[in-house]
Amino acid sequence: MAKVVHVNSGPIGRTLFSFALPVLLTQLLQELFNAADCAVLGHFGGENALAASAIAGLLLSVLINFFIGFSSGVSAVTAQQFGRHALVLLRQTMTSVFRLVLTAGLLLSVIGFSASKSLLVLLRCPEEVLAPATVYLRICACGVAAQLFYNVAVAVLRSLGDSRGPLRCFLAGVLTNLVLDVLLVIGFHMGVQGAALATLVSQWLLAALLFLRMKNLGDGCSLSLAGRGMSLRELLNILKTGLPAGMQALFMSISSLLIQVCIDAFGPDAMAGMTLYAKLEGCLYLPSFAYGIALTGFVGQNVGAGCMDRVEAAVKLSIRLCWALVFPLSLAVTAAAPLLLRVFTHDSGILFNARDAVQFNLPFYVVYAMNQVYLGAIKGFGKTCWPMLCTMLCYAVFRVAWCQLLIPIFATMRIVYLSYDVSFFLMLILLLPAYRKILAVHGQPFYPN
């Protein structure tokens, strides 16, 4: 039987580390899940396979990222319910949320499959990439319900202190995806179709494993889809926290789509180059993002238990870790980029674009990591509207306006890269005062280090 874990007692550093480490490893496994497709397609998928999977994956991410954000908002609620031992309400919340997620997932699968080609045309997908991208998108659309379920399941499990269970489930999913990639793409020469089928099977396997784990949680926290749910009014109160967090992720995805239109104008090499940059960025992005998620659960449980001193200490420790770990790692990845990128392709045009993106963005990633700490902490308090507004302003409005105004003047991909760097600093300027104010309102004044 799976176990839930209370994180509102014990040494803060050790407790936070033991809780966050499996989350970090899970996110790295999730990146490996995606990187397996990228590496196999880059070497064995045929012409334009990498670009096809990139643009189709970006479109899917709009749907998926909304529910990833939504799940982080829900996890703040379930963490606080668990922290104050409101287990009946917790079970009702889980039942209602997962019914909603599965219904939405099935509906979006139908829409995504039916409208795949039209959506790609709307994104100005290059003609030579359109056909394989449509195939990839249609197959992957059949796994949307699975993706929504397992992302919300992982977030809820983490809010209950179970960060090791999702790690084991993701390991099984990654291995399945890798084996099927080799078999279908390399062995049967199925190209993007084989990579998409490998992803689809792995996603449904992962969803099934996480569903079984949630059905067998201890301490009266097990999930029952047939159990009693919440009233409509209670569910709407949960959605008030979850929806802004979902909109936060949606704004990021929409901005990426709009910027993708600018990138597409520079041709397939620029498109594929940004895809490879994203694979190296994942070494920093996913651990930082995952740590913020872990911190949301940690803060939520401690807020529910009234342990505000632990909240402040955890955030201070997290900021120090950003500078001690993320900053030197960003410099190391930047230095090793010419070698690492050749794992995915030997095309000189793609490699040039990918290296340029790495050199302009990764050295500043410590600021992004700090933003994830403050975002995770603020959401742990159940405050999701301000993170949504900050994300909309900095990552959506600013980045898109920057690219739309400057690319016609300078006509270089470096304008896109700089939009990310500047937006990181703008976000930090907005988040830090908000965190200090929320901490003070909850009864624990902020004392500078």
The predicted pLDDT at position 341 comes to 92
Q: For residue 337, what pLDDT is reported?
A: 93
Q: Average pLDDT of 289-296? A: 82
Closest to 425 (Cα-Cα) out of 380, 384, 381, 393: 393
Angle between helical axes of 399-410 and 232-264 (0-180°, round to 10): 10
In this prediction, residue 443 carries a pLDDT of 54
pLDDT tens by residue, 383-441: 889 998 998 899 889 998 999 999 999 989 999 999 999 999 999 999 999 999 998 88
Range in 63-67, 93-97, 302-306, 359-363 the model is least confident about: 63-67
Residues 195-249 pLDDT 10s: 899 989 999 999 999 999 999 887 778 888 888 888 777 788 788 888 888 887 7
SS3 label, residue 390? helix
pLDDT for 393: 92
Q: In this predicted structure, what is the pLDDT of residue 447? A: 34
pLDDT of residue 5: 64
| Average pLDDT, integer, range 163-167 | 85
Decide which of 6 and 79 is more confident.
Answer: 79
Q: Report percent pLDDT > 70 for the chain.
A: 94
CA distances from 405 to 35, 53, 261, 401, 419 (A): 33, 29, 14, 6, 11
pLDDT, position 305: 83
Residue 217 DSSP symbol: B
Q: What is the pLDDT of residue 31?
A: 67
Q: pLDDT value at position 449?
A: 32
- Residue 438: per-residue pLDDT: 93
Helix (H, G, I), strand (E, B) or coil at 2: strand
Res 250 pLDDT > 70:
yes
**Do the Cβ atoms of 4 and 159 come closer than 8 Å?**
no
Burial of 16 per CB tally in 10 Å (0-12, 13-18, 19+): buried
Highest mean pLDDT among 18-22, 43-47, 135-139, 272-276: 135-139
Q: Do 79 and 301 touch, CB atoms closer than 8 A?
A: yes
Amino acid at residue number 130: L
CA–CA separation, 144 vs 209, rounded Å? 16
Q: Is the pLDDT of residue 54 over 80?
A: no
Q: Residue 36: is it exposed, middle or buried by C-beta count within 10 angstroms (0-12/13-18/19+)?
A: buried
Is pLDDT above 70 for 33? no
pLDDT of residue 352: 92
pLDDT of residue 444: 47
pLDDT over threshold 90, residue 15: no
256-260, 290-294, 347-351: which is most confident: 347-351
**288 or 39, greater pLDDT:** 288
Q: What is the mean pLDDT of residues 277-282?
A: 85
Query: What are the domain boundaries of the chain?
Result: 12-441
How far, CA to CA in Å, does 449 sit from each of 307, 312, 320, 444? 20, 11, 10, 15
Long-range contacts at 431-439 (CB < 8 A, ≥ 24 apart) = 431/371, 431/374, 431/375, 431/378, 431/387, 431/390, 432/374, 434/374, 434/378, 434/386, 434/390, 435/315, 435/374, 435/377, 435/378, 438/378, 438/381, 438/383, 439/308, 439/311, 439/312
- Report the pLDDT value the prediction gives residue 51, as an integer from 0 to 100: 77
